Chains A and B, each alone.
Chain A
Amino acid sequence: MRLHTTGTAVGFKRPIVARVVTGPVPVEERKDTALLIDSLGQDNDLSGYSALIVRNSVTRRVGVPLMHSVRTIDHLSSGHVVALEPMNGFIRTLYRPDSYHNTLFVTERCNSNCLMCSQPPADKDDIAALTERNLRLIDFISPESEYLCITGGEPTLLGDNLLRIVAKLRDKLPMTHVHMLTNGRRFAWQEFTRSFAELKHPSISLGIPLYADDAHLHDYIVQARHAFDQTILGLHELARHEMEIEIRIVLHALSVPRLTRLSEYICRNVTFAHHVSFMGMEHIGHAPRNMQELWIDPADYQSELERAITVLGRFGIEARIYNLQLCVLDPRLWKFSKQAISDWKNVYKPICTDCAVRGRCGGFFQWATEMQSRSIHAIKSA
């Protein structure tokens, strides 16, 4: 699934956020829309559109912001919301109404630097610009949208800007459940957590990673001193305000050995967790560079995973498994498997063609081709 393309930007200096239409609309409906067409005819009436996106080359002046000579437009449909960047000609798809996996990407910055990060942080001063773009984007999202994810980078680094975004989501999209991926460290500060909780968003949950019960090990994995203490204190502050919490555990050679201990720790210290998600590692970002230290064939940690899930299940905390193919998972664990690798990431391999349970399987990440479990195979019958 493609989420960006490039073209040649003409006639605008600030980024434009607009909803795509694929055919002409009456003048009164053109506000905030970008007309997407293959080529520009002589008789096109373009007044009132926010922008024009043309696949072919356009050489004449058109009087509205223009993106032409676009590499590909096949992934864009009517109703998509796009951001057009004047500086580099990027056309980013920000929102697709037909998808369950829409995100607000809020910053590339992060105060941790996890060894297996799939989206390595960049020290860019991007917060002001991205906040404006996201606040604008919220105006375009249908109030009937079920789900929206806030991600980065580390969203809490936005400080007050995060509060502005969540307040706007609360006011404009009260029916849309918001899930925010955060390392939770900033919530150790009571004042920030109180401000966040006092927004009283009607339906928000936080996905917070915990990689070990042992502070030394967790801090090593996230490459940040005292991150563990901050995250734990943050979790407790959030619990005090009854925020809904998902604990996220990425499975790799460093986290697997203490997995059962981590489950026990959660049952005693994070009892308020709504559920715990165990996730197969993504082979992108930092992960490939640290593969020597991180790689463990998922086939080799099935018993640890089963033990860790048993601890949670006996205590009564729900476990979920993401990003692990059914042929790799012990069949006893299938019931925990969720099919939610974002739809723009997952693909199937040729070997999957004959698989009887392909329809229930999350498949692979587009980029997960290098390291692969020896267990990958087509399952003959369900």
Chain B
Amino acid sequence: MDYRLLPFRFHRLDQQTEILVNECGEFVIVPSGTTERVVRKRLTPDEELYGTLIAKHFIYDDYSSPLLDVLAAKYRTKFGFLYGSTKLHIFVVTLRCDHSCHYCQVSRQTVNQTEFDMSEEIATAAVDMMLRSPAKHITLELQGGEPLLAFERIKYIVSIAKSGAKKLHKDLEVVITSNLAFLSDEILDYCKKEKIKLSTSLDGPEFIHNANRPRPGGNSYEVTIEGIERARRALGSSRVAALMTTTQLSLQHPIEIIDEYVRRSFHTIFLRPISPYGFAIKTSHRTGYDTDSFLQFYKTGLDHILELNRKGYSLVEIYSRILLQKILLPEGTGYVDLQSPSGAGLSVLVYNYDGDVYATDESRMLAEMNDHTFRLGNVLKNSRREIFTSPAFVSLLGAACNQSLPGCSDCAFQPYCGSDPIFHHATQRDLLGHRPTSAFCRRNMKVIEHLFHLLRTADSAVQDILWGWATDRNLAEVRASLPQ
């Protein structure tokens, strides 16, 4: 029987195996040479693979309609995260900060320079623009600098955002990203009353954290840990999150960093590579590193995290979870830095203290270094329509879909990966980017390959853990639904 091909891509995993991936991210892992047999129409209907490829929408024949409606439904599901427009709105309430972190992505200002705070006029206009987003669920993230240095302005923004959202029947979630150094009882009471979440930075144990995050007194670690504990007591553990930034120093200590997260009873950790922006570029001799060093850090860390889970401590590695969800689930995942179309502007907008609107926080960093490519407009001068039709945004969109990027368009991992035009602009001075020399490409290819390696070869406990991450269940919960 003759069969025809539906769109799919392929990739060699190792000498013996290759992977075929279709438009919806469904995959089959097969012996080397199979792709060629499939494409050359040498597959026969009595092979098990023949039925599998029909069922997974790789091929169809005269008898089996391609069930294109079903394929379309799956494609729609995969891109469901795009519905509802921009959901995350980041307000840079002030540039002032007491810390002077090497990697800091802003050119921070000292604590008493209030001219770098967002004015009431700008805050009002920014909230108005945020609420014009068609999104039903909106997250307002207040950051800095150190936003708690401008607490009065935060109260103003939250109050007008809440009353505006209520009028428009939108759900509003508020997060303050803070180093917690200025956390007073008054602020905690306020966060509790307003149901505000806190997100902070914890880079690892004391020697790493304090080296990465200098502040007067050299006690950032102590201050952060105390802040985390107080915030947890006041708001509950689920309302306090921590994020880690990986520096050159961190690279040598994956285990210690992870153990610090466990010691502090966190159940998620994000092994994030450093962003090549702001001071991170200026200080690259101190913070920068090559992709392979990061990959080694990631793999060592992931092994350790899996072992902790196996022993009963539930700890999710977020980078892996984002990719596993894309690989294993029918739904897509809208993570700004790893989605296609890129989340810049589509999923996130950043309102700077001076009213300038940027596609991402990284775009704002570039502007701080005098590269204004991704400044989309200003809340006092431009309407939402003008922001989204600005030449800056249109050119960004042109490079936002990995489906049409050179090097991505025929990559098997395209459905799992993203596009990051701003990263490629920053690192390669080219929105489209050059994939063979792209750190973004190399890192994601290797991480995805590693996850497939685990999914193929790891023991059943690891499989259960990885599936649990994708489906948001801990190991015990996954096992409750498995034979035993």
Contact = CB atoms under 8 A, between A and B. Distances in A.
A189 to B, nearest CB: 13
B481 A316 contact: yes
B223 interface: no
Interface in B8-26: 24, 26
Contacts of A217: 51
Interface stretch (B67-75, B110-118, B181-189): B67-75
A313 B478 contact: yes
B164 interface: no
A332 B55 CA distance: 29
A271 B329 CA distance: 9
B483 interface: yes
Nearest to A310: B482
A269 B328 CA distance: 13
Contacts of B238: none
Interface in A259-304: 261, 265, 267-269, 271
A60 to B, nearest CB: 66
B70 A232 contact: yes
B483 A313 contact: yes
B482 A215 contact: no
A225 to B, nearest CB: 8
Contacts of A258: 48, 51
A31 B134 CA distance: 61
Interface string B205-237: 000000000000000000000000000000000
A330 B55 contact: no
B464 interface: yes
A355 B73 CA distance: 49
A261 B51 contact: yes
Contact of A316 (B55, B64, B463, B471): B471
Size class of the contact patch on chain B: 20 to 34
Interface in A298-344: 306, 309-310, 312-316, 318-319, 330, 332-333, 335-336
Contact of A216 (B45, B48, B70, B481): B45
Contacts of B24: 268
Nearest to A213: B55
Contacts of B463: 314
A215 B330 contact: no
Nearest to A316: B471
B69 to A, nearest CB: 6
B484 interface: yes
A290 B65 CA distance: 28
Contacts of A139: none
Contacts of A267: 330
B300 interface: no
Contacts of B51: 212-214, 216-217, 258, 261
Nearest to B1: A216
A336 B482 CA distance: 9
A216 B51 CA distance: 8
A255 to B, nearest CB: 13
A180 B24 CA distance: 32
B183 to A, nearest CB: 38
Given A258-B51, A268-B26, A269-B74, A215 B483 contact: no
B67 A309 contact: no
Contacts of B64: 215-216, 228-229
A29 B54 CA distance: 63
Contacts of A335: 483-484
A229 B67 contact: yes
A43 to B, nearest CB: 65
A4 interface: no
Contacts of A269: 70, 74
B467 interface: yes
B440 to A, nearest CB: 28
A101 interface: no
B473 interface: yes
A316 B473 contact: yes
B483 A314 contact: no
A285 B67 CA distance: 32
B52 interface: yes
B74 A310 contact: no
A56 to B, nearest CB: 56
B483 A261 contact: no
B50 to A, nearest CB: 8
Contacts of B48: 258, 261
B73 A236 contact: yes
Nearest to A257: B48
A217 B51 CA distance: 9
A310 B464 CA distance: 9
Contacts of B63: 215-216
Given A236-B69, A315-B467, A316-B473, A268 B330 contact: yes
A313 to B, nearest CB: 4
Nearest to A229: B65
6 contacts: A215-B63, A258-B51, A261-B51, A261-B55, A265-B56, A267-B330
Interface of B: 24, 26, 45, 48, 51-52, 54-56, 63-65, 67, 69-70, 73-74, 328, 330, 463-464, 467, 471, 473, 478, 481-484
Interface of A: 212-217, 226, 228-229, 232-233, 236, 258, 261, 265, 267-269, 271, 306, 309-310, 312-316, 318-319, 330, 332-333, 335-336
Q: 4 closest pairs, A vs B, by CB?
A: A214-B51, A213-B55, A313-B481, A314-B467
